[in-house]
Structure 1
Amino acid sequence: MSTLKHIVMWKLLDQAEGADKATNLRLMKDKLLACAQLSPGTLRFEVVTGAEAQAQGLEATYDIVLFSEFTDKAALDAYADHPQHVALKGFIGAIREARQCMDWVS
């Protein structure tokens, strides 16, 4: 069975929204994890910080990454268009320095 993979990586600003990077990183991770069940087609939903990866002795060039899998594009769209996710995008946009995204089916 093929699935749609959705990966997003962010670098955060040192200061934004009245908080430092570490605070915003914790908030962002919590807010992303709260979106894990927004689409019934979500198969996998992981949020990992660069600090967590580095603590495992692994490389991390971004501050936080979302790795998710969906049954199909309609399931990804249901997640992306959900009001809770849409509201989160404003917060993330205000605290991020850079964003990279890639989707594919395999």
Structure 2
Amino acid sequence: MIKHIVMWKLKDPAKAQLFKQKLDSCQGLVPGMRQFEVAVRTPGLEANCDVVLCSAFDDPAALQAYLEHPQHVEVSAVLGTLRESRSVLDYQTP
């Protein structure tokens, strides 16, 4: 299984719910997507990012299909205009 974790710091943190809504539209896009959870920072709890995606895929091919899916490409273009920075960690689990 491949875990795909992405964290964003937004130019305007007030747009976090909009960001989440757009990203949620990518859930279930491809076969082999096993997990897809988008969360927004909780006031009062420690965070150095505004939005996080925790997702899991059966294999690298499923992750690549997600990354290349037209819906994901379109959403990524919109989200790119809202972010200040983006961090990604992909890793394999047994």
Match of 2:4 in 1: 6
Question: Whose helix proportion is higher, 1 or 2?
Answer: 1
Distance 2:61 2:28 in 1: 15
Distance 1:60 1:43 in 2: 26
Shift of 1:59: 2.0
Structure 1: segments with no counterpart, 5+ residues: 15-20
Task: Give the % identical residues.
Answer: 48
- Which of the numbers 51, 71, 79 marks the counterpart of 1:84? 71
SS of 2:28 mapped into structure 1: coil
2:90 is the alignment partner of 1:99: no
Distance 2:22 2:79 in 1: 10
- TM-score w.r.t. the length of structure 1 is 0.82
Match of 2:36 in 1: 45
CA radius of gyration, larger in: 1
Distance 2:90 2:70 in 1: 21
2:38 is the alignment partner of 1:35: no
Aligned alpha-carbon RMSD (Å): 1.2
Aligned length: 93
- Which of the numbers 44, 60, 69 marks the counterpart of 2:47? 60
Structure 2: segments with no counterpart, 5+ residues: none
Which portions of structure 1, spanning 4 or more consecutive aligned residues, are displaced by more than 4 angstroms?
A: none
Shift of 1:12: 0.3
- TM-score w.r.t. the length of structure 2 is 0.92
